[in-house]
Amino acid sequence: MLTGEEVEDVALPVVLEKLNFSFSVEGLFLEILERRETLLSQIKEIRRTRALHRASRKRHGQLDDQRLATVAVVGYTNAGKSTLVSALSGADLYSDSRLFATLDTRLKSVVLPSGRKVLLGDTVGFISDLPVQLVKAFHATLEEAVEADLLVHLIDSTAPNIEEHRATVLQVLQQIGVSEEKLQNMIEVWNKIDYEEEMSADGEASSLWGDEGGGIASELSTGAEDVEINGFSGGSEGDFEETIDSEQDDYSDGWLLSGDDQEMVGDHWLKTLDERQGEASDDLGMEKDVQWQAQHGPHVKISATTGVGLQELLELIDERLKTQDEKLRKQNVVGRSFLIENGDPHVRRRLA
């Protein structure tokens, strides 16, 4: 009499043969290595292109004496970043409720209420307990966030563990080298308030937000358009549309690690996902979040899908950039007078 395992040993090859199924571990491994190499070289190319674009934008700004500021939308995965950038720019970016829907980042041109034109960038979503190896991979896609003049931190207000998401995002931003000053200046936005409003309308839990909110998306005067700077066109084929992997469905491939790396992070990664699911259904956690919400209000509450609060957000971006410009101008004046008083005589003569 055969044991269960012995039956499997004997039966499996027969079944596979009948199904005409062939499986080669070596083949799969080679395919994975090849895919990894391709992605790494794509990331390298993207970084190079981005550096050129940034230099170009700076040169352009200096020549015109009118800097084209960049605003990066950052946030936990699934917060609604792509939906928001699409709503503000009139572009149609890929959004999905799966994790890491966005692996590519794009810059879209948006006109603020004051008439000022800025570049708005979508970014890849963050996630808690990100293994170090993945943080490295994120660096390439997040350089735009480090370089941005202003950050908009989008938070999914319906998530059961907002505080954890918020802390994770701040931690990752610090890890990738975003300055303390930029973090202080970051605009914090709660998204998906329509969800709460829907619940209130149904007579369920009362809304956390009151009844404030801005206009609807169609009322926005964003004047969104594709970017064109120094000959670079931001249309769908343009260089500003920087894509890591155009096969969006293939999202998991971007995070393939080497065998050793996988061993190191695998257990931890799976464990934290499980833990997070546990936390999501934890009533105490919910209560903590509500307390946290009461203490740390956002700067703006919006719904990227209905457009509520978007006008208010644009006005805030406008205001922050203006304040930043004034601060920079003051610093430049101070620096200039310092050089005139103490600097090299040649420089002094030129500045005076």
Ligand X SMILES: Nc1nc2c(ncn2[C@@H]2O[C@H](COP(=O)(O)OP(=O)(O)OP(=O)(O)O)[C@@H](O)[C@H]2O)c(=O)[nH]1
Binding-site residues, in ranges, read 75-82, 100-104, 122-125, 191-194, 303-305
Spell out a b/e string for 85-115, using b for 16 or more CB atoms within 10 Å of the CB, else e.
bbbbbbbebebeeeebbbbbbbbbbbbbbee
Q: Which DSSP state fits 227?
A: -
Q: Which amino acid is at 296?
A: H
Residue stretches of the annotated binding site for GTP: 75-82, 100-104, 122-125, 191-194, 303-305
Could you tell which of ligand X, Mg ion, none binds residue 40, using a CB distance below 5 to 8 A set by kind?
A: none
Can residue 168 be called a binding residue for ligand X (CB under 6 A)?
no
Can residue 120 be called a binding residue for Mg ion (CB under 5 A)?
no
Spell out a b/e string for 184-209, using b for 16 or more CB atoms within 10 Å of the CB, else e.
ebbbbbbbbbbebbeeeeeeeeeebb
Residue 272 burial (C-beta neighbours within 10 Å; 0-12, 13-18, 19+): middle
Residues 18-77 that bind ligand X (CB under 6 A): 75, 77
Enter the tokens of residue 116.
């000022």
Could you tell which of Mg ion, ligand X, none binds residue 78, using a CB distance below 5 to 8 A set by kind?
A: ligand X
Q: Which DSSP state fits 246?
A: S
Site string for Mg ion, 81-100 (x = CB under 5 A): xx------------------
Give the interface segment with ligand X, choosing from 11-19, 99-107, 134-142, 174-182 (CB under 6 A): 99-107
Closer Cβ to Mg ion, 82 or 141, answer by number: 82
Residue stretches of the annotated binding site for Mg(2+): 82, 102
Closer Cβ to ligand X, 303 or 311, answer by number: 303
Q: Are 110 and 117 in contact (CB under 8 A)?
A: yes
Site string for Mg ion, 38-77 (x = CB under 5 A): ----------------------------------------
| CA angle centred on 85, ends 80 and 86, rounded to 5° | 95
Spell out a b/e string for 284-311, using b for 16 or more CB atoms within 10 Å of the CB, else e.
ebeebbeeebeeeebebbbbbbbbbbbb
Other Cβ atoms within 10 Å of 162 Cβ, number: 23
CB of 204 to ligand X, least distance (A): 15
Q: Which amino acid is at 319?
A: E
Could you tell which of Mg ion, ligand X, none binds residue 303, using a CB distance below 5 to 8 A set by kind?
A: ligand X
First to last CA, the chain: 100
- Taking the C-alpha atoms of residue 53 and residue 323, their distance in angstroms, rounded to an integer, is 25
Give the interface segment with ligand X, choosing from 2-10, 100-108, 232-240, 286-294 (CB under 6 A): 100-108
Residues 287-346 that bind ligand X (CB under 6 A): 303-305
Can residue 80 be called a binding residue for ligand X (CB under 6 A)?
yes
Other Cβ atoms within 10 Å of 67 Cβ, number: 16
Could you tell which of ligand X, Mg ion, none binds residue 304, using a CB distance below 5 to 8 A set by kind?
A: ligand X
Can residue 220 be called a binding residue for ligand X (CB under 6 A)?
no
- Residue closest to Mg ion when measured from CB atoms: 102
Can residue 95 be called a binding residue for ligand X (CB under 6 A)?
yes
Q: Are 59 and 230 in contact (CB under 8 A)?
A: yes
Backbone angles phi, psi at 121, to 5 degrees: -115, 135
Q: Name residues whose C-beta falls within 8 Å of residue 209's C-beta, 6 or more positions apart in sequence.
A: 157, 190, 193, 196, 197, 301
Residues 123-152 that bind ligand X (CB under 6 A): 125
CB of 122 to Mg ion, least distance (A): 6
Q: Which DSSP state fits 204?
A: S
Site string for Mg ion, 200-219 (x = CB under 5 A): --------------------
Give the interface segment with ligand X, choosing from 189-197, 201-209, 313-321, 326-334 (CB under 6 A): 189-197
Residue of 3, 20, 22, 97 interacting with ligand X (CB under 6 A): 97
The residue ranges that bind Mg ion (CB under 5 A) are 81-82, 101-102
The residue ranges that bind ligand X (CB under 6 A) are 75, 77-83, 95-97, 99-102, 125, 191-192, 194-195, 303-305
